[in-house]
């Protein structure tokens, strides 16, 4: 399977936006539930932070 670099810059930009957006959503969800993790951990424990980068690898 060949590496497809078509629209790489757009896909990378979207992946970075999704990364930070997912962190913010995870943190907000924990705050609303009243059980936020300490520090930056709240934004990374949801497990979806890297999902936006899947399109770059496939």
Residues 20-40 pLDDT 10s: 998 888 888 888 888 877 666
Instruction: Name the pLDDT band for 12 (thresholds 50, 70, 90).
Output: very high
Q: Return the biggest CA–CA distance within the chain.
A: 46
Of the two residues 58 and 54, the one the predictor is more confident about is 54
pLDDT: which is higher, 18 or 47:
18
Residue 40 maps to a domain: yes
- Residue 26 within any structural domain of the chain: yes
Instruction: For residue 2, tell me if it sits in a domain.
Output: no
Overall domain count for the chain: 1
In a domain, 50, yes or no: yes
In a domain, 1, yes or no: no
Looking at the whole model, is its pTM more than 0.75? Answer: no
Q: Residue 17 pLDDT more than 90?
A: yes
Neighbouring C-beta atoms of residue 17, cutoff 10 Å: 11
* Rounded Cα gap, residues 5 and 55, in angstroms: 11
């Amino acid at each position: 399977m060949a590496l497809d670099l078509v629209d790489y810059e757009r896909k990378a930009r979207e992946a970075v936006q999704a990364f930070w957006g997912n962190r913010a959503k995870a943190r907000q969800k924990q705050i609303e539930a009243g059980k936020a993790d300490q520090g930056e951990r709240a934004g990374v424990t949801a497990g979806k932070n890297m999902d936006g980068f899947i399109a770059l690898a496939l």
